[in-house]
Structure 1
Amino acid sequence: MELRRALSVAGSNSRGGAGLQADLKTFQELDVYGMGVVTSIVTLHGDGRRGIHTGSPETVEDQLDAAVSSIGVDSVKTGMLYSGELVRLVARKVKELALPNLVVDPVIITKNGGRLMKPDALDAMREELLPLATVVTPNLPEAAALAEMESIRDVEGMMEAARRIHQLGPGCVVVKGGRLPEGDAEDLLFDGRTVIRLRAKRVEAPHTNGAGCTFSAAVTAELAKGKTAEEAVRRAKTFVTEAIRRAWPLGGQGSVNQAAPRWSREGESPEPPRH
């Protein structure tokens, strides 16, 4: 098996459930060599308290250069990019280093409505980073922000958002519909010509921390292995659905379980640790 390499440019989450830690776990489970560039350090407590400590552009650039020059990259994803300065830096490095298979996970708003991106960063993402993306993977609030829509309440709204975001330049847009109030967990994939509706039976689980990171990391891993965007997205949806179904019930809102798909294949069912 040829070794493939994936790089995550994202925030560090000390709880291990989201951000860079979730990305690296996902890469490992999907047989891809994972590397990480820390853009910020996020402290998330079980009671919802959050702190954001942003890294300097110089530190982020040095990490990027080191990973690419010494190891090489077959795909790269971005996660939390808190400031416009960081977004513009990453966009410049993607072009300068000719980084392939860029997946943009636009980490804009938390599940509880907290902001993880400054307004100038959102503008920079729309103008400079999205035109470089192979795939962009917003959830409903993020898609509304990128598409400049007040909200998205149904599949028709998802389709409109996907079209608007595609006009910003990415190759494919995946609007994740897991937050729709009813029905199956449905995502939309739009490549500028065709809308593909991807459905999975909704998993009623309270422990979903890191689901978006895991999904976009799985897309990144599959692109690194040479899959098409559609194949990568389909495989990622299957992966994250199982990860949600067997999530870790830890520390308030628990985290999805990137090992769960492997457990299912191997017929294992370890007991989760107790907190």
Structure 2
Amino acid sequence: MSPPHAIPNTLTIAGSDPGGGAGIQADLKALSALGTYATSVITALTAQNTRGVTGVHPVPADFIAAQLDTLLDDIAIDAVKIGMVASREVAEVVREALSRQRPRWIVLDPVMVAKSGDILVDTAGIAAVREVLVPLADLITPNLPEAAVLLGSTTPTRRDAMAAMAPALMQLGAGAVLLKGGHLHGESCPDLLIDAAGHHWLEGRRVATRNLHGTGCSLSSAITARLARGDDLPDAVARAKAWLEQALAQSYRLDVGQGQGPVHHFHAWW
């Protein structure tokens, strides 16, 4: 852990997005915008832009292990966000490294489905996330399609069906679940936080924008940053959600790509 009053150190373990809107690039922006020193370990290279994913090139597990071991041997990490993990071998490498030098907080964003609808992880990778990484996490942050993939169920379309998923998600072994309801229809974007204290609905307005690329990556990283800075879990989630709402609302100031553009991570600064 970092000494008192030091800027906290955070880590993102994720895939790369050359367009800068999602993946490790979005994580680094969010972690930095919310006041932490961000470090990174790359698990995969992707060929993608705002219109879709055309290729995924996984980084070999032994080199991911080398990145983690070298980093953690030198830098004390306060909170880590885990994103795209494409195989059981990589999942076990990540679990082993973080079990040896466990940070206070581990946030897992089970990245399996791109905003474009492209499936990023095969069946074995999905099982690895569910069986190896979910039990390691203090918080998982699936959206509704990702939650359906984790549970082998259909994607809910109503709030009551969304709430009904909560017990099964908790039974996968994470300390808490933030089930994101952005895929529901309507004017609001309700998220459901499930932890030892119970169920907490977090309401949010739906921002009219096409700049939705990387919202999940950005939110989970924002939560990680707030946790690293000392917020308790409900406050961290609420503050991160408010930050993302403004990042979406201010995204019109960006002109990036011809498809679903990125959020404005630095809306409070630029």
| TM-score of the superposed pair, with normalisation by structure 2 | 0.93
Corresponding residue to 2:80 among 76, 80, 87: 76
- Correspondence for 2:256: 250
Corresponding residue to 2:108 among 82, 104, 112: 104
Corresponding residue to 1:121 among 121, 125, 143: 125
- Correspondence for 1:27: 31
Does residue 85 of structure 1 match 2:82?
A: no
Tell me the SS of whatever aligns to 2:52: coil
RMSD (Å) for aligned C-alpha atoms: 1.4
Corresponding residue to 1:156 among 140, 160, 163: 160
Q: How far apart are 1:3 and its partner, in Å?
A: 1.4
AA matched with 2:249:
R
Farther off after superposition, 243-252 or 217-226: 243-252
Corresponding residue to 2:147 among 127, 143, 147: 143
In the alignment, the residues of structure 1 paired with residue 153 and residue 17 of structure 2 have an alpha-carbon distance, to the nearest angstrom, of: 29
AA matched with 1:251:
G
Q: How far apart are 1:46 and its partner, in Å?
A: 4.4
- Correspondence for 1:13: 17
| TM-score of the superposed pair, with normalisation by structure 1 | 0.92
Tell me the SS of whatever aligns to 2:193: strand
* Contact 1:15 1:44 survives alignment (8 Å): yes
In the alignment, the residues of structure 2 paired with residue 29 and residue 148 of structure 1 have an alpha-carbon distance, to the nearest angstrom, of: 35
1:52-110 Cα offsets, whole Å, 9 max, x none, are: 11101111111111221111100001111112221122122221222330000000111
Farther off after superposition, 250-259 or 82-91: 82-91
* Contact 2:31 2:221 survives alignment (8 Å): yes
The alignment covers a number of residue pairs equal to 263
Q: 1:139 to 1:47 in 2, by over 3 A?
A: closer
AA matched with 2:139:
V
- Correspondence for 2:219: 215
Corresponding residue to 2:55 among 51, 55, 58: 51
The gaps in structure 1 that reach 5 residues or longer are 264-269, 271-275
Does residue 95 of structure 1 match 2:102?
A: no
* Contact 2:46 2:53 survives alignment (8 Å): no
Write the mapping of 1:178-197 to structure 2, written as runs, cut at 5 A.
178-197=182-201
1:151-189 Cα offsets, whole Å, 9 max, x none, are: 211111221222211111111100110111113111000
Farther off after superposition, 80-89 or 27-36: 80-89
Q: 1:220 to 1:47 in 2, by over 3 A?
A: closer
Q: Which one has more relative contact order, counting CA pairs under 8 Å at least 6 apart?
A: 2
Instruction: Report sequence identity in percent.
Output: 36
In the alignment, the residues of structure 2 paired with residue 173 and residue 92 of structure 1 have an alpha-carbon distance, to the nearest angstrom, of: 22
The gaps in structure 2 that reach 5 residues or longer are none
In the alignment, the residues of structure 2 paired with residue 236 and residue 49 of structure 1 have an alpha-carbon distance, to the nearest angstrom, of: 27
AA matched with 2:66:
D
